[in-house]
Amino acid sequence: MVASLIETNGITPSSSPGVISGSAHAITPGIDKLAMALAKAQSEMTNPKKTHTATGKSFSYHYADLAEIIDTVRPVLSKHGIAYVQVVRSNGKNILETRLIHESGQFLDSTYPLPETLMDAQAMGSAITYARRYSLCAILGIAAEDDEDGLAATEAAHTAEEEKKRLSAARFEEMKKRGNIASAYDGKVLKPGEHTLPEKRIPPPAAPASAGASPQIPADLNPALAARMSQDSVTLEQLKAFGVARGHFPASMDMTVLRPELVAAYLKPENWAKVLEFASKKGPQS
C-alpha cells in the first residue's frame, strides 16, 4: 500500500481514487489512525539540536541542517508506524511535496513552491534541500531555527531571501573545496570562487592555430566554446560537420545559436575528444 503512494507513473494525488486534494495538500478521506499516531509521535519529539550558525546584516541565528532534523524525527515516526517521503513534482510549476504515510495507508500531504528561475543543477539542489528542511519541520510541528523576536518585520522580509542565497552560496563553496562540484555546462570540476558558467571564467590563453587549420570563429559564438576551438585549432566548419554527422542538428544550423545544453555537452572532456578525433580525420576545412 505504501509503495503504491510513491508516484512513478505521473498520477497525482488529485487524480487518485479515494483522495481528497486541495491547492496545497491532499489527504485520505479518513486520517484517524494517522492523527492518533502523529499525536503520540509529537508528544515524544524534541526540536533538533541547532549546531549551525547563520549570520545576517544585523543578526545571527542557530539552525539544524536537514541531516540533523531527519536523525531527530525518523526514529520517533518509525516507532509509531509513520513514514515520510519528499518528492519534486512539476505541473506547470515546480513544487516539493512532503507526505506523511501511516502504516494503515492513510496519508497527509503538504506542498512547498520551488524557484522557477534556477538554471544551475547545484543551485536547484540547494533550493530543494532548503524546502525539505522547512516542509518537514512544518508538517511535524517542530522548529529547527531560532525565533528572533527582536528582528523588525521589514528587515526580516528583506533579509530572509538574502540569507537563503548566502547560505546556499556558502554550502556551494564548501562543496567546491571538497571537489564535489562540476559545472553542468562543461564538466569542469570547480575550485572555490570559480564560476559555474564557462563564459564568466577567465579563459586560458588560446594556443596559436596550426599551419593546417584556419579557425574562423564568429565573435558571437559561445565564449567557452570559442576558446576551446581556438586552443585546439578546430574550425567552425569541422565542428558543424561533426554535429551534422552525429545528427545533432541540420546542415543549415546557425552555429552561433547552439543550445546551451548542447554546448555544455560538447565541452565535456569525453565528448570534446570525439570532436578532435573527427576533426583530425576530416582535416582542415575553411
N residues, the chain: 286
Would you state the torsion angle of the CA atoms of residues 66, 71, 72, 73, taken in this order, to the nearest 10 degrees?
90
pLDDT at 245: 87
Reported as a single tens digit per residue, the pLDDT across 197-222 is 766 665 555 444 444 444 567 777 78
261 to each of 120, 178, 189, 203, 268, how far by Cα in Å? 11, 26, 17, 19, 11
Q: How far apart are CA 53 and CA 74, in angstroms?
A: 23
Instruction: Report residue 51's pLDDT band, with 50, 70 and 90 as the boundaries.
Output: confident
Q: How far apart are CA 78 and CA 273, in angstroms?
A: 50
Q: How far apart are CA 65 and CA 130, in angstroms?
A: 9
Q: DSSP letters along 79-125, please?
A: HTTEEEEEEEEESSSEEEEEEEEETTS-EEEEEEE--S---SHHHHH
Q: Which pTM does this prediction carry?
A: 0.45
pLDDT at 81: 96
pLDDT at 11: 33
Q: What's the mean pLDDT when you consider all of the chain?
A: 76
Instruction: Say if CB 129 and CB 137 are below 8 A apart.
Output: no
Span 19-41, average pLDDT: 74
Q: How far apart are CA 183 and CA 185, in angstroms?
A: 5
Q: Which residue has the higher pLDDT, 281 or 20?
A: 281
pLDDT at residue 10 is higher than 60: no
Instruction: Report residue 144's pLDDT band, with 50, 70 and 90 as the boundaries.
Output: confident
pLDDT at 82: 97
- Least confident segment among 27-36, 68-77, 176-185, 248-257: 176-185
How large is the C-alpha radius of gyration of the chain?
25
Q: How far apart are CA 52 and CA 39, in angstroms?
A: 29
pLDDT at 58: 58
Residue with cell 570534446: 272
Reported as a single tens digit per residue, the pLDDT across 62-89 is 888 999 999 999 999 999 999 999 999 8
pLDDT at residue 106 is higher than 60: yes
